[in-house]
Amino acid sequence: METIHWQWTLILVSSLILFFLSPLAKTRDQFFKAVSNRKAPNTLVLTGSLIISWIFAKSITNAANLGLDYGIVGGVAYAGYYLSFAVAGILIYQMRTKGRFKSIHEFLTTKFGKGAMAIFSILIAIRLFNEVWSNTMVIGSYFGESGSQPYYLAIIVFTVLTLAYAVKGGLSSSIFTDVIQMVLFSVLLMIILGTIFSTEDFSTTDIVTSGTWSFELGLNLFFAAIIQSFSYPFHDPVLTDRAFITSPKVTRRSFLLASILGAICIILFSVIGVYAQTQGMKGQAAVEVGKAFGVIILLVINFIMITSAASTLDSTFSSFSKLLAVDLKMGKDLTFGRISMAIIAILGTLPVFLDVEILSATTISGTMVIGLTPVFVFWNMKVPRISFYLSVICGLVFGVVLVFGVFPESLMFTEGKYADLLWVNVWGILSCIIIYIIPKFIVIKR
């Protein structure tokens, strides 16, 4: 049987199993808040759900490729983004216990008004829209060349099958299947690493010596990731929705655990790229390593991509339906929630056919939302409403500057790839914080 047939079998069988195992949501709490038998998810379930919904197909592809390019430094650099969980966990804990807020949208509406909440909703809707095609394209690439019939067919089938079980149970389905997918991911990753370490020409010494700890060779990205972690989590409803479904203490514990364990998972996956580097491989690290070890390992890597993409996709669907139904109060019943899932699935898949240049789903959008940093870090500071708009617009401007590559080199104090990313973020966040606080002293109190 050809590899491609096995790949189809994996997608079809795994999706159908998840569909039949997924709980059927009958109430709003089950569909939008993942409450089952009046109980919210516990620490272990929530931690697993957080990690796997963030270890999406695009991110593990990036981790392996960074391992190939920069050695273990590349993996550590990319793992820097997982500080986002700790930041969100601590700040949202304070917002819930001290501020008594029940959602991010309630906080923004209360403090900055409905206009601010509307702008924020547009930002996260764009994020969710990006999430769909950036993950399904990775799946498609395992079935055929970009633009080929097998490529498109795989994307459509995968999206429809994932939508099927997401529609069945909403966030309950998403979190339930996340646990299964997290266990699968861990087992499959161990199989791959076990295979790599069983070869005679690869050891932990190769990993330790595989990279150079310099700005040019990975640290630019590491520090950019750390800086972005103070704004990045708040424009990702897949992450923040999960911060309001259990008690504040369980939430904080889960987020801190997910920060550490998620980073470890990404670093371990980057070892695949490190191995590819020692063997002189070129191209997509995960694919090349899979091919080098034969059909079984290629299928294991393929299955890891399927499970991680599915977990992100179903979370994206449930977050979008919650955004429209609960946060924006556009429709109350489950039918509306299910229809909105189908809408984001269709809209999010369209760019695949329009042959859109893949924007890095993380780094670019991460820079565009740095204006959210002071909004959430200083959530308890009294500032006029204009502060929100100034900071968010300032962040968007820096994001556009990065996209068009017009940031002055005289303001960059390191060299190499990602130097522009690092310094646009450094100057951008400083500007956003200053412009956020200034109105506090200018606006005359009545």
pLDDT digits (tens, 9 = 90+) for 260-313: 999 999 999 999 999 999 999 998 898 899 889 988 888 888 888 888 889 989
pLDDT tens sequence across 97-135: 999 999 999 999 999 999 999 999 998 988 888 888 888
Which H or E run includes 9? helix 3-21
Task: Let me know how long the chain is.
Answer: 446
Question: What value does the mean pLDDT take over residues 416-442?
Answer: 95
| The pair of three-digit structure tokens given for residue 101, joined into one six-digit string | 């807020």
Residue 360 above 60 pLDDT? no
| pLDDT score recorded for residue 357 | 55
Question: What value does the mean pLDDT take over residues 124-149?
Answer: 87
pLDDT tens sequence across 206-223: 999 898 899 998 999 999
Q: Helix or strand or coil: residue 36? A: strand
**HSE on the CB side for 145, CA within 13 Å?**
1
Confidence of residue 332 (pLDDT cuts 50, 70, 90): confident
H helices within 113-211, ranges in order? 114-141, 149-197, 204-208
Q: Helix or strand or coil: residue 39? A: strand
How far apart are alpha carbons 277 and 274 in whole angstroms?
5
Closest to 287 measured CA to CA, from 130, 64, 70, 115: 64
Confidence of residue 230 (pLDDT cuts 50, 70, 90): very high
Bridge partners for 39 per DSSP:
36
How far apart are alpha carbons 343 and 422 in whole angstroms?
36
| pLDDT score recorded for residue 57 | 75
Closest to 166 measured CA to CA, from 27, 19, 36: 19
Residue 14 neighbours by CB distance under 10 Å = 19
Residue 361 above 50 pLDDT? no
Burial of residue 385, with CB atoms counted within 10 A of its CB: 0-12 exposed, 13-18 middle, 19 or more buried: middle
Average pLDDT, the chain: 90
Instruction: Tell whether pTM > 0.95.
Output: no
How far apart are alpha carbons 117 and 432 in whole angstroms?
18
Residue 377 above 80 pLDDT? yes
pLDDT tens sequence across 74-93: 999 999 999 999 999 999 99
The amino acid at residue 20 is F
pLDDT tens sequence across 30-88: 898 888 767 888 999 999 999 998 887 778 889 999 999 999 999 999 999 999 999 99
Task: State percent of the chain over pLDDT 70.
Answer: 96
Angle ∠(187,190,191) on CA atoms, nearest 5: 90
Question: What value does the mean pLDDT take over residues 392-420?
Answer: 93
Q: How far is CA 97 from CA 161, 181, 255, 270, 360, in A?
A: 39, 32, 16, 37, 35
| pLDDT score recorded for residue 445 | 53
Bridge partners for 36 per DSSP:
39
Residue 359 above 70 pLDDT? no
- To 10 degrees, what angle do helices 295-322 and 43-54 make? 110
How far apart are alpha carbons 213 and 439 in whole angstroms?
41
Confidence of residue 333 (pLDDT cuts 50, 70, 90): confident
Contacts of residue 47, Cβ cutoff 8 Å, sequence gap at least 6: 254, 257, 258, 261
